[in-house]
Amino acid sequence: MDVFQVINAVGAEVVANKAVAKVDGSRVVVAQVIGDKMVLTAEGEEMAKTVKPAPAPKAKSTKSKTTKAAAAPKSSE
């Protein structure tokens, strides 16, 4: 699991270049930006071993729910 999957799985939010999750009422830094990359902290690595990836959002159906308009009767002139 990569760092962003861990962040999503634990419900962390990114604030001031750190991903912070609430665990048992206290805030835990699970990842932080070092250089140009987000990397897991020691606590984040421990959490990564115990959490499952967050489920992917389901795709919505692309079918149109509109009905076809009835054909207008032709006028005979």
Helix and strand tally (H, E) in the chain? 2, 4
Residue type for 48, please?
Answer: A
What is the distance of C-alpha 66 from the center of its chain? 30
73: pLDDT strictly greater than 70? no
Residue 58 lies in a domain: no
Q: What is the mean pLDDT of residues 51-71?
A: 67
Residue 7 lies in a domain: yes
Domain residues for 44?
Answer: 3-50
Query: What is the pLDDT at residue 17?
Result: 94
9-54 tens-digit pLDDT = 899 999 999 999 998 999 999 999 999 999 999 999 998 898 877 6
Closest CA to 8 of 43, 38, 52, 50: 52
Has this prediction a pTM greater than 0.95? no
Residue 37 lies in a domain: yes
What are the C-alpha distances in Å from 71 to residues 44, 68, 74, 75, 76?
Answer: 62, 9, 9, 12, 15
What are the C-alpha distances in Å from 10 to residues 28, 67, 71?
Answer: 10, 43, 55
